[in-house]
Amino acid sequence: MSAHVIRAGRKAARWGMALSLLVLGLAACDLDVSNPGPVADEFLDNPAAFAAIVNGMGRELSDALNWIGITSAIVTRELHATSGTPVQGVPAEAHNGKLSPEFDQQWTRSQRARWVSEDGIRRFKEVWGTTTYASTREGARANLWAGYAYRLIGENYCQSVIDGGPALADTVFLRNAEARFTEAIDVAGRANLSDVAMAARAARASVRAFLGNWAGAAQDAAAVPTDFVYRMPYFDRAVVDEYNWIYYAAASVPWTVHSVWNTPQEQYYTDTRDPRTPWTTVAGRPYGDGALAAPIGRVPFYRERKYTANSSPINLSTGREMRLIEAEAALVGGDWQKAMTTVNALRQAVGVAPWTASGAEEAWTRLKRERGIELWLEARRLGDFRRWVRDRRPGDLHILETNPPSGPDLRGRDLCFPIAQSETDTNPHLE
């Protein structure tokens, strides 16, 4: 290689290195990138973030309640689907009393609601220490949300899963709910959050009732005044996710995916004008969005009016439910007259005629119907169906609730959501 080539090569190398360094220098000025927006997990260990973490728990639960609420309303015939299109949590199969593992949103959102609550409680305890945590408002509220999340799962799923583990019976979730409500009562008591403590007590009563602990249920219920109400709030902001979807799904903007037509409340409200089960026709909107299979075809659109706005809250616990728990406890104890008295007191309070019953079986029929009216569209009916079948309670459901005909034990109908396919596909503990 000639000296000229070597010289030229050296010069080239110098120039190349200089220019490379220049470009690298320009590029290296800002290699460290911090993008705003998402927050790293460790930042949430700051106690200043805890209130927002608790709000996140509430939002996740409200979301889960929306999805399970609307689908369970269809499967229990609290509402009637108007279309075969599975939108807004109203799948056509549910109309026929079927719940599919493909109903993923209900599973994933309820699981998220449970998980974020537990994760938040774990974080609070780690950061604060258990002593400080035990008297915090955030701790009380977190336990309440966690308890409601467990109750939502336990009442609506026969089996469920915790953190990727094996399938567990609904009772596991209801007992977890009971434990969370108990802790909520304790922490709220120390944090002077009386509404949270009362809600937790009322919720614990409902869970104990489901578990068959009628003495404990009645004891908790008795501590809750009839006019007590604790609700899941919804918000009419510009974010649809914060809406009450049972209302929104039939609010004609633009969906009308469910109707009160051909449900127990259709005729009942026409006959009684019970303010707990209102519905109305809508001018210019004779039918729902689509159609179902013949012979139903197009479904007349009767809009429910229990919820009248995107911001309508959904009851989580009420004193009136406590009275029904007391009535059911009386029925379980064989005192059907006391049960009827309790039920009719509730009816009288809202201005509708009392039920009559001539014996225990009829009283059970009345109680079942009354719970359907009182807790309408609150995501409770599916759990009621299941425990009544489980406990072989006498009495009938409304004929439309057993339609298609399935007998008193509701054979052929799904009484709980199955574990979602997405969990089965990913969880190694499930087949």
Per rule CB under 8 A, is residue 62 in the interface with another protein?
yes
CB nearer to another protein: give 254 or 405: 254
CB of 62 to another protein, least distance (A): 8
Per rule CB under 8 A, is residue 3 in the interface with another protein?
no
DSSP for 154-184, written as a single string = HHHBSEEESTT--EEEHHHHHHHHHHHHHHH
Q: Which of 129, 165, 334, 351 binds another protein (CB under 8 A)?
A: 165
What's the start-to-end Cα distance of the chain, in Å? 72
DSSP for 351-372, written as a single string = T-PPP--SSHHHHHHHHHHHHH
Window contacting another protein (CB under 8 A); options: 10-18, 180-188, 318-326, 355-363: 10-18
CB of 257 to another protein, least distance (A): 10
Radius of gyration of the chain (CA): 27
Q: Please report, as residue ranges, which positions from 238 to 267 form the binding site for another protein (by CB under 8 A).
A: 238-243, 253-255
Q: Please report, as residue ranges, which positions from 119 to 158 form the binding site for another protein (by CB under 8 A).
A: 119
Q: Which two tokens stand for residue 266?
A: 């259709």
Give the DSSP letter of residue 300.
Answer: B
Window contacting another protein (CB under 8 A); options: 87-95, 129-137, 201-209, 361-369: 87-95
Q: Please report, as residue ranges, which positions from 348 to 367 form the binding site for another protein (by CB under 8 A).
A: none
With contact defined as beta carbons under 8 Å apart, do 258 and 81 qualify? yes
Residue 157: strand pairing partners: 417
Per rule CB under 8 A, is residue 277 in the interface with another protein?
no
Q: Which of 178, 183, 220, 289 binds another protein (CB under 8 A)?
A: 289
Question: Cα 282 vs. chain centroid, distance in angstroms?
Answer: 28
Per rule CB under 8 A, is residue 90 in the interface with another protein?
no
Residue 5 CA neighbour count, 13 Å, CB half: 2
Q: Which two tokens stand for residue 333?
A: 């104890």
CB nearer to another protein: give 22 or 399: 22
Per rule CB under 8 A, is residue 96 in the interface with another protein?
yes
Window contacting another protein (CB under 8 A); options: 25-33, 218-226, 334-342, 403-411: 25-33
CB of 49 to another protein, least distance (A): 7
Q: Please report, as residue ranges, which positions from 182 to 241 form the binding site for another protein (by CB under 8 A).
A: 233, 235-241
Q: Which of 129, 286, 334, 351 binds another protein (CB under 8 A)?
A: 286
Give the DSSP letter of residue 280.
Answer: E
Q: Which two tokens stand for residue 42?
A: 């460790």
Per rule CB under 8 A, is residue 23 in the interface with another protein?
yes
How far is Cα 32 from Cα 364, in angstroms, rounded to an integer? Answer: 69
Per rule CB under 8 A, is residue 109 in the interface with another protein?
yes
Count of residues that bind another protein according to CB under 8 A: 94
With contact defined as beta carbons under 8 Å apart, do 138 and 53 qualify? yes
How far is Cα 295 from Cα 69, in angstroms, rounded to an integer? Answer: 27
Q: Which of 215, 293, 349, 399 binds another protein (CB under 8 A)?
A: 293
CB nearer to another protein: give 95 or 180: 95
Q: Which helix (H) or strand (E) holds 302?
A: strand 302-304
